[in-house]
Amino acid sequence: MKKYVVKRRKSGLPQQLTRYREELNDQQFKVVTSKPGAALVIAGAGTGKTRTITYRVAYLLEQGVSPDRILLATFTNRAAREMLGRVETLTGSQNVHRVWGGTFHRIANLVLRRHGTSIGFDSNYSILDSEDSRDFINVCIDESAIDTRSKRFPKANVIQNIISYAHNTDHPIEKVIVGKYPYFEMLTKQIERVAFNYAERKRERNVMDYDDLLLHWKALLLEKPEIKELYAEQFQHILVDEYQDTNRLQAEIIDLLAVTYRNVMVVGDDAQSIFGWRGAEFTNIYQFGERYPEATGYKLEKNYRSTPEILGLANSSIAGNKKQFAKVLEAIRPSSGILPALVPCSDVDQQSAFVASRILELRDEGTSLEDMAVIYRSHYHSVELQLELTRRNIPYRVQSGVRFFEQAHIKDVISHLKIIVNPRDELAWTRILKMIPGIGNVTAGKVFESVAAVTLGDGEIGGRGDGGLFAELPPGDSSSTKLSERRVTASSHHPVPDALRNFKARVAKPWDRFVSLVEALVSDENRDKPAKQIELILESGYQDHLNATYENADARLEDLQGLAMYASKYETTEDFLSELALISTERFQEPQGVAGEDVVMGGEEDEYLTLTSVHQAKGLEWNAVFLIWTAEGKFPSPRSLRELDSEEEERRLWYVALTRAKDELYLTYPLLMIDYQRQAVLQKPSRFITECPPALFEIWNLEEEIREWDDPVDVEEDKKEYLN
C-alpha cells in the first residue's frame, strides 16, 4: 500500500480561505463563506458591504461555480464593474466578465434582446430616453383629444412620472393619482387614456422606455414558463446589493428567478432606506424572511468609517425607530476625544458665518475642501450659505449639479421680480409670458413691444423711486423723456399694467390673471416687499404651474417658500435681486447670469467644498460634515411628515446624514428665524436632537467678532493666497 501525505496549513483552512480570514473580519468572513441558501445580510453604514459582496462572488468562483451562473444585481453599472474588477484581481480568473452583473435594467435588456419576440417585440427594439419618452407622451395627449386649455392638464414629464411610479410599485394609475397627485383626481380618466395610448404606441413602434425593461422582463417570466425555467436553472446564485432600495417589481423578478435554487443573498441596511418617495418598497427587506423562511440572517456591525463618538450619536438616534433590524455599530477606529458639536446660532446669518469660518479653519489645519461637506434636508436650506461662501471666495459644488438659484422654478419667480425692477428686461418678460397658455415666442415678442412703448429708453430703470413700473408718465410724455423729468407717484395707476390690459390675448382668463398679478406686484401695498411679492406669485397660479409641470411640485413649493423667507430680510426688491447677483457674478470663472440655463459647476480650482442634500449624500463620506438647519420644522421635513410612517423615514435620513462623517460632525440651527411676513419665529432643536442624551454632544456657544470685509480690489489676491 502506497502512503501519501496530504500537506495542509496549520490553520486547517485551504489557502484561499486563509487569505480571506486575514482580509475580512469575523462578520464578513461568515457571510462570504456561508453555505448555499437564502441569506439576509443587514450591513450597517461603513461596515464594508461592497467588500463583502466582492469576496462572496470570488468565493463562489473559487468553489467551482461557473461565472455565468451568478447574477449580481447592483444599483449602478459602475458599482458592478468595480466589484467584478476586484473579483478578477482576487481570483486571477479571466472569465469574471461572464458573471451577469449590473443594474436590474441592464440585465433586463440582456434577457429581452434574446427573448423579446416571445412577448411581441423584435430583438432590435429601441430604448427611449427621458426626452423621447416625453415627446411620445405629448403625441398621445394630442391623440387622446384632451382639452388642455379649459383646465390645466399635467405636462408630459408629470404624466411620465405617474406612469413610472405606477409600474414600479405595481399600483393602478388611479391609486397613484389619489395618493400622490390628488389635485389631478378629476383628470384620472384622461390620464389613464393617455397612459393606454402611450403603451400601445410604444408596442406598435417597437420601442421601450426605461421602466418597460423591468415591466416586460417580469411579463416574460410570468407568461413564458419555459423561459422562466431556463433562467431559474441558469442562475444558481443571486446576489442583490442595496436591497432596501428595491421596488416591488424588482423584488418580484428576483423571486421568480430564484424559484429553483433559492440561493438568494440580499444585502442592505433597513436604517438607510430613504427612497420611498420614488417607489422603493421599504417592506421588501422586512418581508424577505416571510418569503424565504429558511433564510439565514447576518449582521455587519463593525464600522471602519467613523469615530466612536459619531457612531454613539448615530446608534442613539436610530434607536428611536420601532420598525427595524436592531443593530449597534461598533467603531474599529480609536476614540478621537471629539464629540459631535451642537451649535445653536443666533440666526441664519450667524449659522452661515459659523459654517464658512469653521471650514476655513479646518482647511488651514490641513483638511482639504474636498474632504468636507455641508448636508441639508431640503435644497432651499442652502440659500444663505451659498451667498456666504460666495462672499468669502470659498469654491463649492452642489452634489445634485444644480445650484439653488439655477433651478427653473427659482428663475421663474425671480424673473417676475426682475420685470418689476427693470421692465425692459426682455429675457425675464419672455420667460414669464411663455408660461401663460396660448403664448409663444411671437406673442411674447408683441407683448414686450407693447410694454417697451410705455417705458423710457434712457437711464437705468429700477424699483426704488427711479421709474420702472412705479413711474407714471406725465400727459403727453413720450419714450424719449429723460428719467429726471419723470414724476414718480404713490398712485395705483401704472403704465405697464395699462399696456398689458390693452393687449388682447388669445386665452382671456389666464391673461387676465397675469395682468392682475402685475398690478398687485406694483401696488403701493406690495412694492418693495419681495417676500410678499413671491407669496402673490404663488397664489396667482404659479403653484398650479408647479403641480402641472413637475413631479416633485411639493419640494419646489417648499423651495419657493424658503426663498420668500430669505427675501423678507431685504428692504427693497432691488436690494434683494442685487444680493442674488453675487451668486451669478462672483464665480470662480467668468461671470454668468442667474437666468442662464447652463449648470455652473465651478472654475479652475483643484478643490471644492461639497453642498448636498441627504438623499444625494447617501453612499458618500467626508472627514468633516456640517449638518445645517437641524431645527424642528426643518428636519424632519413637515411636508414629509404628512405621510404614514414618515417620521421613521425622516429618522433614517437623519441617520444617513450622521454616518457620512468620519472625524468631525457639526449640527447647527438658528435660534431665531424671520418668516416671509417679517415676523420673528423662535426655533427649537430637532426632535432627533432632543431625543438623544445631551452627553453625546459638545455644545458650542458662539461669540461674534465683527470685522470689515476686505476691499473688493483685494479679493482676487486673497483668493490666490487662500488657495495656495
Q: Which residues form the catalytic set?
A: 49-50, 241-242, 272, 660
Could you give the CA distance from residue 550 to residue 162 in angstroms, rounded to a whole number?
11
Give the DSSP per-residue string, 377-397: SSGGGGHHHHHHHHHTT--EE
Could you give the CA distance from residue 334 to residue 682 in angstroms, rounded to a whole number?
39
Closest residue by Cα to residue 390 from 377, 404, 376: 404
Give a three-class secondary structure readout of 439-477: CCHHHHHHHHHHHHHHCCCCCCCCCCCCCHHHEECCCCC
* C-alpha grid cell, residue 485: 423729468
Cβ neighbours of residue 244 under 8 Å, at least 6 residues apart? 268, 269, 270, 272, 273, 280, 282, 284, 285
8 Å CB contact between 589 and 603: yes
Is it true that the peptide bond before 636 is cis, omega within 30 degrees of 0? yes
Could you give the CA distance from residue 128 to residue 134 in angstroms, rounded to a whole number?
9
- Sign of the CA dihedral running 145, 149, 154, 157: positive
Phi, psi of 341 (to 5 degrees): -90, 130
Closest residue by Cα to residue 312 from 346, 338, 292: 338
Opening angle at CA 612, ends 610 and 616, nearest 5? 120
Could you give the CA distance from residue 320 to residue 323 in angstroms, rounded to a whole number?
9
* C-alpha grid cell, residue 660: 457620512
- Rg for the chain (alpha carbons), in Å? 30
Packing angle of the helix pair 210-223, 248-257 (nearest 10 deg): 40
8 Å CB contact between 611 and 382: yes
Give the DSSP per-residue string, 629-694: --BTTTSS-TTGGGSTTHHHHHHHHHHHHHTTEEEEEEEEEESEEE-TTS-EEE--B-HHHHTS-G
Closest residue by Cα to residue 123 from 131, 113, 132, 108: 113
8 Å CB contact between 61 and 94: no
Could you give the CA distance from residue 380 to residue 34 in angstroms, rounded to a whole number?
47
Could you give the CA distance from residue 50 to residue 81 in angstroms, rounded to a whole number?
12
Q: What is the DSSP letter of 38?
A: -
The count of C-alpha atoms lying within 13 angstroms of the C-alpha of 504, restricted to the half-sphere facing its C-beta, is 0
Q: What are the b/e assignments for 462-478, b being 16+ CB within 10 Å? A: bbbebbbbbbbbeeebe
| Secondary structure tally for the chain: helices H, strands E | 29, 21
Provide the terminal-to-terminal Cα distance of the chain, rounded to the nearest Å. 78
- Sign of the CA dihedral running 443, 444, 447, 452: negative
Task: Please report the beta strands in 47-173, taking only residues with DSSP state E, as ranges in sequence order.
Answer: 70-74, 100-103, 126-127
Opening angle at CA 484, ends 479 and 489, nearest 5? 85
Could you give the CA distance from residue 518 to residue 469 in angstroms, rounded to a whole number?
9
Could you give the CA distance from residue 430 to residue 413 in angstroms, rounded to a whole number?
13
Does residue 305 sit in helix, strand or coil?
Answer: coil
Beta-carbon neighbour count of residue 225 at 10 Å?
A: 10
